Amino acid sequence: MKKNKKYIIGGAIIGVAIIILAYLGLKSSLTYYYEVAELVAKGSSVYDKTVKVGGEVLPGIEKNVSLAEIKFQIVDINDTTTTINVDYHGSQVPDTFKEAAHVIVEGKYTSQGIFEATAIITKCSSKYIPATVTGVTK
Burial 27-66 (b: 16+ CB within 10 A, else e): eeeeeeebbbbbbbeeeeebeeeebbbbbbbbeeeeeeee
Tell me if 135 is assigned to some domain: no
pLDDT of residue 48: 87
Could you tell me the residue range of the domain that residue 103 belongs to?
32-122
**pLDDT values of the chain reduced to their tens digit, one per residue, 138 residues:** 567 888 888 889 999 999 988 888 777 667 789 999 999 999 899 998 999 999 999 999 999 888 889 999 999 988 889 999 999 998 888 888 999 999 999 999 999 999 999 999 998 766 656 666 565 555
Assess whether 42 and 96 both reside in one domain. yes
Same domain for 22 and 82, yes or no, is: no
DSSP character at residue 48? T
* pLDDT computed for residue 38 by the predictor: 93
The answer on 15 and 57 residing in a single domain is: no
Residue 74 domain flag: yes
Q: Are residues 108 and 51 in the same domain?
A: yes
Q: Which pLDDT value is given to residue 23? A: 83
Determine, yes or no, domain membership for 134. Answer: no
Give the count of domains, the chain: 2
In a domain, 109, yes or no: yes
* Residues 10 and 23 both lie in one domain: yes
* CATH code, 53: 2.40.50.140
Looking at residue 127, its pLDDT comes to 62
